[in-house]
C-alpha cells in the first residue's frame, strides 16, 4: 500500500517536470531541496509504516505461502532465459527458499 502511494507521488512529480519541460523554466536549487526533503520524509514514513505492518502481522503469526514468491521467480526465468547468470541466480534463490521454508514464509523474514 505504501509503495502505491509513493509511486503515485513520484508519478505526479514526474508529470510536473514533464509539463514544465516545454518551457525554459527550471526548478531553483531551493525547490529541488524541498522536493528532495519531501521525498525523503515520505520514504521514511513508508518504511515506518511497513515495519508497523510487519510487526503487527508477526505478532499474529501471519505467513506468506511459498508459492506466492516462487511463481513470479519462475516466470522471470522464462523472460530472461538468455541471461544465464540471472537464471542461475533465480534457481539458487528458489532452491534456498524451498530448503529454508516448507510451505510458508513468516512475514518478518521477507
Q: What is the pTM of this model?
A: 0.52
In whole angstroms, what is the distance from residue 1 CA to residue 107 CA?
15
Domain co-membership, 6 together with 39? yes
Per-residue pLDDT at 23: 56
Q: Which residue has the cell 516448507?
A: 102
Domain co-membership, 17 together with 53? yes
Domain extent for 103: 63-109
In whole angstroms, what is the distance from residue 54 CA to residue 37 CA?
26
Per-residue pLDDT at 60: 84
Q: How confident is the model at residue 1 (pLDDT cuts 50, 70, 90)?
A: low
| Positive or negative: CA dihedral 52, 53, 59, 63 | negative
Note the helical H segments in 1-110.
2-21, 29-59, 66-79, 84-100
Domain co-membership, 23 together with 54? yes
pLDDT tens, residue by residue, 21-60 = 665 667 888 999 999 999 999 999 999 998 898 888 888 8
Domain co-membership, 43 together with 10? yes
Q: Which among 55, 65, 53, 45 has a CA at the least distance from the CA of 5?
A: 45
Residue 22 CA to its chain's centroid (Å): 31
- 39's CB contacts (< 8 A; 6+ apart) are 9, 10, 13
Domain co-membership, 54 together with 83? no
Q: How confident is the model at residue 107 (pLDDT cuts 50, 70, 90)?
A: confident
Tell me the average pLDDT across 57-67.
Answer: 86
Domain co-membership, 18 together with 49? yes
Amino acid at each position: 500500500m505504501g509503495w502505491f502511494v509513493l509511486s503515485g507521488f513520484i508519478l505526479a512529480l514526474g508529470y510536473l517536470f514533464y509539463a514544465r519541460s516545454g518551457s525554459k523554466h527550471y526548478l531553483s536549487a531551493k525547490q529541488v531541496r524541498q522536493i528532495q526533503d519531501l521525498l525523503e520524509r515520505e520514504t521514511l514514513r513508508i518504511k515506518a509504516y511497513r515495519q508497523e505492518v510487519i510487526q503487527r502481522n508477526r505478532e499474529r503469526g501471519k505467513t506468506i505461502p511459498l508459492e506466492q514468491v516462487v511463481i513470479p521467480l519462475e516466470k522471470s526465468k522464462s523472460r530472461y532465459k538468455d541471461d544465464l547468470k540471472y537464471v542461475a541466480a533465480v534457481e539458487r534463490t528458489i532452491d534456498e527458499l524451498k530448503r529454508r521454508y516448507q510451505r510458508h514464509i513468516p512475514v518478518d523474514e521477507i
